[in-house]
Homo-oligomer: A and B are copies of this chain.
Amino acid sequence: MTKMKSDTWVFTGSCPSQLGTVDVVTRFMAESGNYVDEIHSFDDRVQRQFFLRIEFTPNDSEFSVEQFNAEFAKRATLFDMKWDLSPSSKKERVAILVSKFDHCLNDLLFRVRTGQLHIEVPVIISNHPDLEPLAKWHNIPYYHLPITPDTKLAQEQQILALLKDYDIDLTVLARYMQVLSPDMCRQLDGKAINIHHSLLPGFKGARPYHQAWEKGVKMVGATAHYVNNDLDEGPIITQGIQPVDHAHYPEDLISKGQDIERITLFNAVRYHVEKRVFLSGKRTVVFSN
């Protein structure tokens, strides 16, 4: 008999490394009758920090987060542990920002529609009108907020207002193609995922495929990372690659890179909403599957 995934919850926690960090959680799970389905842990020997992710099935359908938190808090405090609880059935509310390219948007919406990606997309925002028909077909409100050097900061305020109005948990820059202002970056820090079309830190900035072609590299790739206040320097979540050769001109790299970009971005979004990603300084811990 296969258990329904939708019944499960995800526990994530982190604390300084010390004896008993796993046990304090697994013991609580056992004593409170919660069945551990899957456990991932990582004890960072350099940072001396411990990371834990547990998928569990509550002992009954009346599972109370408040009660879990209240009781677990007494034990967690001894380990200085920060934790979070999230039902697998919950869909995060994800805003997608796009420009004119639609391969990433199309891919994300397709996976949402077919159940591969367990999120809600309540709003799509763009500085161009081009992708409105695609949004419309999926019955998702589309905001066309044009941008000029003069209106950039105002436009960003409009975006931030929309994210608030739509109660957005995560913002995905699906080839949005705009350099965000430092203030915008700060506001989205850790709550937005960008896809860059290179194997960062190689080829930062504009036109990475052209840079890659100039260098004559034999591999190109894509990097999904959190937005932070340092352009193209946010913590990397995942990367994908593609072999290329001399016969690929920059326009071929752009075309061939699309499959890598969209799969890489999809994986990053999925890891994030499934609570598989932890920040550890400038690096990430990712319990992929």
Given contacts A2-B46, A236-B216, A263-B259, contact A38 B36 (CB under 8 A): no
Copies of this chain present in the complex amount to: 4
Q: A217 in the interface, Cβ–Cβ < 8 Å?
A: yes
Measured in the bound complex, the distance between the Cα atoms of B103 and A116 in whole Å is: 11
Interface size class of A (residues with CB under 8 A): 35 or more
Measured in the bound complex, the distance between the Cα atoms of B178 and A60 in whole Å is: 43
CB of B235 within 8 A of CB of A216, answer: yes
Q: A37 in the interface, Cβ–Cβ < 8 Å?
A: yes
A219's partner among B27, B241, B282 (CB-CB below 8 A) is B241
Interface string of A97-127 (1 = CB under 8 A from B): 0000011001000100010100000000000
| A interface secondary structure, majority | mixed
Shortest distance between the CB of A1 and any CB in chain B (Å): 8
Where the two chains meet, the residues of A that have a C-beta atom closer than 8 Å to any C-beta of B are 1-3, 19-24, 26-27, 29-31, 33, 35-39, 41-46, 102-103, 106, 110, 114, 116, 137, 199-203, 214-219, 221, 235-239, 241, 245-247, 249, 255, 258-259, 263, 280, 282-286, 288-289
